[in-house]
Amino acid sequence: MRVRVLPGLPGVDFKTPPCEGGVLKCRVACRKETSDVAKAKAAKKKAKPRKGNVIIRYLRETRAELRKVHWPTRQEAWNLTRIVLIVTISMALFLGLLDYLFSIALKWIIAGSAIAIGIAVVVMVVGVVTGVILNRQTAQ
């Protein structure tokens, strides 16, 4: 029984020639070639100089990157802080108001008030229709 090796692709140069022959011959030939490649790689590794301490290199690169950062002035930082605080407080008040209104509406619905149930159904239908219309407009 012989091992058949397909020919290489046109224009592709493989570093190691294909192994031909019986199974045992192929294994021995490939093993010899790979050991030569392994020896060459080991020689290259030994030839490379060490790059020094990894932690020191990391700290130097970090410091260099931090020097590239455009830091805001005191006035810019204060303006951005005010914007964040205003948006946070206004969203908290808005969500708190919505929570309060929905809790009142839910109490009415649980109590079985027909008017509250009717209002809830109308609000849900209007919300769904509005969502569908907005979705169609953004899709176009």
Q: Structure pTM?
A: 0.42
**DSSP characters over 60-71:** HHHHHHHHHS-P
CA-CA-CA-CA dihedral for 113, 117, 118, 119, to nearest 10: 100
Supply the pLDDT for residue 16.
Answer: 57
Identify which has the larger pLDDT, 118 or 91: 91
Q: What is the pLDDT of residues 44-87, one digit of tens each?
A: 776 666 667 889 999 999 999 999 999 899 999 999 999 999 99
The residue type of 69 is V
Residue with the larger pLDDT of the pair 2 and 56: 56
Query: Residue 18: CB partners within 8 Å, gap ≥ 6?
Result: 5, 7, 8
